[in-house]
Amino acid sequence: MSPPKSSSRQGAGRVLVTGAGGFVGRALVAELAARERLVRAAVRRVGPTASSVAVAPGAQFVQIGALASSTDWRPALDDVDSVVHCAARVHVMHEKAMDPLAEFRRANVEGTLQLARQAAEAGVRRFIFLSSIGVNGAETFDKPFDPDDVPAPHSAYALAKHEAELGLRALSASSGLELVIIRPPLVVGPGAPGNLDRLTRALHRRLPMPFGAVDNRRSFVARANLVDLVATCLDHPSAAGQTFLASDGEDISTTALLNALAKALGRSARLVPVPVAWLTAVARLAGRPQVVQQLCGSLQVDISKTRGLLGWSPVVRLTDALEEVGREFLAHASR
């Protein structure tokens, strides 16, 4: 196994970004290239998405295939100083797998550890793993989550992320590979998948939504803020061996989020004040209690450690990120 590359090369070595065709990875490649970093963008298959990534100055892309225990990362790791692992099997609305946990483990645990092992063997210096705030838990009550909380993963996805973290820590301890773990909550930005996309479309169509009585507090992280945090962790001497939580540093209610997003779309949110207890009961009957939890429960994140240890602060406000979501959505809707 090759020793990790000398810290004297910090800021000069090539960065491998996995999941470079995805929502976060795509933005990260563009930002690192704009900062004149040498970037290799790993994509599942060559196509229009990969080509759009590759045109970023200083970036090149490599087809890597599926994320699995058998994936051969060695060609992609040639002359790489740092790895940012964004690729993952993510939540799906209509899960078709007979055993979702097994599928999450296959990609997000076995696939991640395969990459990390080969990175260590190639002498990679630092490995940044994009995990999930779900490792901490699903909901906060009396205090925000912090990095030292006892993990309480609440879903198959979060459990697999936690298992990947444990495996990475063990590998780091035995190999000298510098490990940085980042746990973001919901990431906000143009083209964000999942709940944010569904809410944006509903607001644009002026559909009434039963969230007028929700008085929760949730943390989000703008994609620009997450990308800036990752870029900071690439070379910061205090980042090695640490787990950081990410957010915009401002917590708002679902009601406030919807009003701000509607304003960005040039709409007024049609929010009906339905009691949360009623929404919870209906969701349980429908077999979807997690949906109400995600929209009506609180999930706050404490980024004191992230700020203090790294000297980092969010570069954009959540309202700015929501305005960008609205602008991009309207631009595409008008085509």
**What crossing angle do the helices spanning 318-333 and 195-204 adopt, rounded to 10°?**
60
**Residue from 81, 88, 227, 96 nearest 163 by CA:** 88
Name the CA dihedral angle for 173, 174, 177, 182, rounded to a multiple of 10 degrees. Answer: -40
CA angle centred on 280, ends 153 and 318, rounded to 5°: 65
Conformation bin of residue 256: beta by default, left when phi > 0, alpha when psi is -120 to 50: alpha
Burial of 95 (0-12, 13-18, 19+ CB in 10 A): exposed
User: In which residue are the tokens 């090759």 written?
Assistant: 2
Residue 190: alpha-carbon gap to chain centroid: 14
User: Is 145 in a helix, a strand, or coil?
Assistant: strand
Nearest to 112 by CA among 136, 100, 99, 129: 129
Residue in the block written with tokens 């699903």: 138
Active-site residue, from 73, 104, 127, 157: 157
Q: Phi then psi for 127, rounded to 5 degrees?
A: -125, 115
Catalytic-residue membership of 157: yes
In sequence order, what are the residues at sequence separation of 6 or more whose Cβ sits closer than 8 angstroms to the Cβ of residue 263?
A: 326
Residue located via tokens 């925000």: 144
DSSP secondary structure of 179-244? EEEEE--SEESTT--THHHHHHHHHHTT--BS-TT----EE-EEHHHHHHHHHHHHH-TTTTTEEE
CA 244, CA 181: separation in Å to the nearest integer? 6
Report the catalytic residues.
Answer: 157
